[in-house]
Structures are given as C-alpha cells and as structure tokens.
Chain A
Amino acid sequence: MTIVQVIANLPALVVVIPLLLSPIVALTPVAGLAWVLAVLGTGGALFCAVLLQGAVTGGAGFSYFLGNWPPPWGIEFVVDPVSAFTVLVMAALAFVATLFARGALPAEIAEGDAGKAYSAWLLACGGLSGLVLTGDAFNLFVFLEISALSSVILIALGAGRDRRALIAGYNYLIIGAVGATFYVIGVGFIYAVTGSLNMADLAVRIPEVAETNVVRIGFGFMMAGLLVKAAIFPVHVWLPAAYAFAPSAVSALLAAIATKASLYIIARVMFGVFAGVPDLAAFTAEFILIPLALAGIFLGTILAIYENDIKKLLAFSSVAQIGYIALGFGVATTAGLAAGFVHIGNHALIKGGLFLAVGCYAVALGRRVNLGQMAGLGRRMPITTTAFLICGLSLIGLPLTAGFISKLYLVRALLEAEMIMVMLLVMGSSALSVVYLWKIVEVLWTPGEGETPVRQAPVRETPALYLPLWIIAIANIWFGVAPAPLVDAATRAAMYLTGGM
C-alpha cells in the first residue's frame, strides 16, 4: 500500500482504528495491555486527525466513499474544514484522557473490568468521531447510538464507588434513546419528501420542497433530538448526574468530547443540510437557540454556585458553557459560528483539564470529593492544584488563557450582530462564574477547622496523573497566548458553513 492510498483512507481510519481495536481490547485479560491498546487506538485516531486537518487547510473538503459506493447511494465520510477541526479537537482530548485513565481508572473500577471498560472507551471515541465525519443522515443515527450506549456503560462503571452511577446511566440511556429516536423520526420525514439520506444531496433537494409542512416537522424533530444529545437547557437533565457519578477519567472524556459532537451536528444540520431554507434556520437560531442558550448559561451558573459536590458543580458549569457555544451558533453569522467553534475547542480544553484535576483529587483521597473535603488541598497537592487553577482561570476567561479568546470572539460577534442586550448578559454571567470558581479556590487554600496533622501532610502526586493534566493546562495558556491556529481553523470552519455546504 502506498502513502497516497493510506492518505486516501484516512477519514475511515480515524473511526475504524478505535472501533476495530475495541473487541480485541474487550478480550484482553491484562489491564495494562488493554490500556496500551487503548492508547494505540486513540493515538492512531489522533495521528489521522492531525493529517486530515493538514489536508483541509486550503479550505476545500474531500470525501471518502465507504465500500467505494458513490453518494447519494453509498455512505460517505465528509472531510471539510468543519469536520476536520471538530475531529481533531475530540481526538486530541480523547488521547490525553486515555493517558490519564491508566492511573485513574484502576482506582475506581474492578481490576477484571478494565478490558471491557477500555473497550467501551474506544467504542465511544470511535462512535463520536464517526458522528462528526459521516455525511449520511441515517448513518449519523447509528453512530449516535454507538457512542450513547458505550457512554452509558462507562458512566455505570462508576457504580463501584457510588451506586447512584447506575441511575445516572439508566436515565441517560432512556433520555438519550428518546432523543435519538426523535432524530430518526425527523430523518424519516425528510426522507419521505426528498428520497435521499446524503447530507450534501439533501441540501440540494430540500429547497425544492422547502415550503411544505413535512420539511418543517422533520426539521423540528431532528433539532429536538439533537438538542437533547447536546444537553442544551431545558433538556440537559441527564448531564449533571452522568458527569458527577461516572469514574473520574470517564467524566473528563465525556465532558471534553461527548456534547461537542452533538453541537457540531446542530451547526451542520442548521447551516448545512437546511441551508436552502434560510427562514427555518434563522427562526430556530433567533427564537430557540439564543433564548435557550441564555437560560442555560444563567441556570447552569447559578446551580453551580449553590452546588457542593465538585464534579456536579463542574457539570452544571458545563451546561452553562454549552450555552455559550449554542449562543455563538444562534447568532448565525460567520463571526458567531466562528465563536461557537472556538469555544468548542477551548471548552474541551478547560473542562477536560478541570475534570482531570478533580480526578487527581479523587484518586489521592480515595473517594468522591465534595467541597468540604477539599479544604487545604492547595498546600497538600500543589502540582495538581496549580494546573486546576490555570484551567479555572481559563474557565472564567482571564486574559492570556484560552477562555479569554472564546469570550473575546463571542462578544465581538454579538457586537457585530448588534445584540447589545445579549452581550451584557454574557458579561454578567461571566462575572457570576467567578463566584463559583472563587468558592473552590477559597476552599483549596484555607485549611479546614480542627484539622489533624495527618490531614495537612502533603499527598504524594504521581506523574501518571498530573502529566496529562499539565499537558492540558499548558495548552490552555498556549491557546491563550497564541490562539492563531485554533482561531484560524474555527474561522475556516465557520466560513465554510456560511458559504454553503
């Protein structure tokens, strides 16, 4: 096989490498070997994603025909600036989370389950990449379910430490399945009037039947299902419990990449597939996405302020951050979409880092962590806490961190679209997010009352845990100081979407 052939097959390899390794890993009895295979799987996917991103810097896309069946009959994987960007972000974060899993997972699940856990882990990674790359509306549903079912398994693995993880997994399964089924109903309606499932083909055919109720209803069902999957307020209810009770490494993986894929699909459906009916997309953006995003931002932030369990606090904060991304998409201009994609990348870095840090605390303390138990940890675990602080500052958007770039572009997009009210609300919510971050910081550096000397002794920090965390912390600063690569890629993605499919 020549190099050219390998490159031509890259889009499939991103998805196929993790998926093919998954059954092998499931049969691996040794936890260490299973982890090595998982690292190989996610690392291979990351390598392919980097090459794909390189291939689309020119601004043009290409596609891969599965089984060599040309679209619209066969399924195609579409590599364009939008999907390449999202896949790269997701593959990078999945790789770092996998590195972290070696130290964190054994502390929270049974030794014998490790092989199966990594198997579900790879399925989730492969499924989410497939979700982003596929150009077929029904194939998308299949990947949606692959990633959802494997995520449920991963969440339920948290039952070893806290039985509530089972309920969180069950609720995610039910809500996720209803959401995915809504999406399929929508696809069915669209298929009934267009006779096509290929997204590019649909974008051409939908304008011919744009003024029919069938298209509107189909669009409504699809969006309703996708909003559930992306955990946009008020259908975010599955997210806090799922992130809070999953094992630490899984929380980091899901928080970093799971909802990002669905947000990407929302952008793709609104501005790609339904680009031919601009009224519909504009209506959805103005009267559904923006209000829901704002409500989610405030509700998530306020719930986070009153939450005491650190993982749940971060999960509520995720609901708010997803709101910022949805708000960017809701603005529906090139600048707004670019802001949304910038925040997809930055939020993956921020929340991935924060959950990794909380994972370090949980492993060190050997239990679930709530704020009270974190008292004085700043002195006992300085390496981890410094990285936690960097990611936290990035979360509230301090200059020189990645989060600042997100806020900057979002505010600029809102100003450009003359949405002054919305912009003020965004600024206000940012100020509110300082409250919950400060609450954590205060606890971290103040020793608890009546502390025994034992509880003030430094905790041994293992490099296996804090190195992945620091990779992300440094990335947070890196993309704050030199945001050009990320911003360029996101802008290219936005321009590609608004310029037509």
Chain B
Amino acid sequence: MSAPLATLVESWNYLVVICLMMGGLFIVISQNNLVKKLVGLAIFQTSVFLFYISVGKIAGGTAPILLKGDETLYSNPLPHVLILTAIVVGVATTALGLALVLRINAAFGSIEDDEVLSMKAADAEPRGRRDRSPEDAA
C-alpha cells in the first residue's frame, strides 16, 4: 500500500466524519421537506461530535482516572465534555426546529418547502389588500 493510502485507511474515522458532514449539509440544502432538513442538520452536527471525539482519542488509552504511582495512558477527556455540551445544544436545536415545523404545518397545512414558500409569496400580495379593508370600512 502506498503511503497516502495507508494514511487514509488508518484515519478511517475522519473519512466517516467527512462523509457524514458533507451528506448532512447536502440534505439540509437539497431536501424539500422541513423535517428532513432537520434530520440533515442533526447528521451534520453529529459528524462534528465524532470529529471532536476522534481528536481526543488515543489508541489504547483509558479513562483519565489517575491512581497513585500509576502511569496510565489516557485519552483527553476535554473533547468528550465539550461534545456533551454540544449534544445538548443539538438536541435543543432539533426540538425547537420540530416545534416550529408543527406550527408551520398548523398554519400552512404543509411541511414541503416549495408549497409553503408559494403560499408565503401569495400572502405578500392579497394580505396588503385584505389588511386595508377593516379601516376603510371604519
């Protein structure tokens, strides 16, 4: 095996990260369904979690519990803690996004981006006219 290829195989976890990252971002951009967009966003964020964990991991390392006179090889615990925070943030983002999709569905009767957008565009014109009527009546 040539050297670059060997590097690629050894760091396969980063390949997974790149695939998830690009896939997730592509779903966010390309999908028409508002829920699927959120799924894409979650995948995109998950790839970052994996990235951080990969960076902090040492092969053969254990949990960083130090005993007296003991020189254990341990992984850096900080990225794990950071990602714990990032997971909470991700859950909150997804939850809020889903709540918004529920409200959009209630208001527009659809969760397809193009349908909602065309209704939104339709709102722009007749709304102005409808808004005017009450005061004209008054």
Please list the residues of chain A having a beta carbon within 8 angstroms of any beta carbon in chain B.
138, 141-142, 145, 149, 152-153, 156, 159, 162-164, 166-167, 169-170, 173-174, 177-178, 181, 184-185, 188, 191-192, 197, 365, 367-368, 370, 372-373, 452, 454-455
Closest to B85 in A: A142
Closest to A175 in B: B28
A contact residues around B28 at 8 Å (CB): 174, 178
A149, B100: Cβ atoms closer than 8 Å: no
Quote the shortest CB–CB distance from B122 to chain A (angstroms).
10
A163, B107: Cβ atoms closer than 8 Å: yes
A contact residues around B138 at 8 Å (CB): 454
Is B71 positioned at the interface, with any CB of A under 8 Å from its CB? no
- Interface of B (DSSP majority class): helix
Closest to A196 in B: B78
B131, A149: Cβ atoms closer than 8 Å: no
Closest to B93 in A: A177
Q: Complex formed: what's the CA distance from A193 to B104 in Å?
A: 43
* Given A174-B97, A454-B138, A191 and B123 contact (CB-CB distance below 8 Å): no
* Given A163-B123, A167-B116, A192-B55, A184 and B48 contact (CB-CB distance below 8 Å): yes
Quote the shortest CB–CB distance from B21 to chain A (angstroms).
8
Q: Complex formed: what's the CA distance from A149 to B91 in Å?
A: 12
Quote the shortest CB–CB distance from A182 to chain B (angstroms).
9
- Interface of A (DSSP majority class): helix
User: How many inter-chain contacts with C-beta < 8 Å in the A-B complex?
Assistant: 88
Quote the shortest CB–CB distance from B24 to chain A (angstroms).
9
- Listed stretches B5-13, B37-45, B60-68; interface member: B37-45
- Partner of B41 from the list A152, A174, A184, A370 (CB cut-off 8 Å) is A174
- Partner of A142 from the list B41, B89, B117 (CB cut-off 8 Å) is B89
Q: Complex formed: what's the CA distance from A391 to B138 in Å?
A: 32
B48, A164: Cβ atoms closer than 8 Å: no
A173, B97: Cβ atoms closer than 8 Å: yes
A152, B96: Cβ atoms closer than 8 Å: yes
A181, B45: Cβ atoms closer than 8 Å: yes
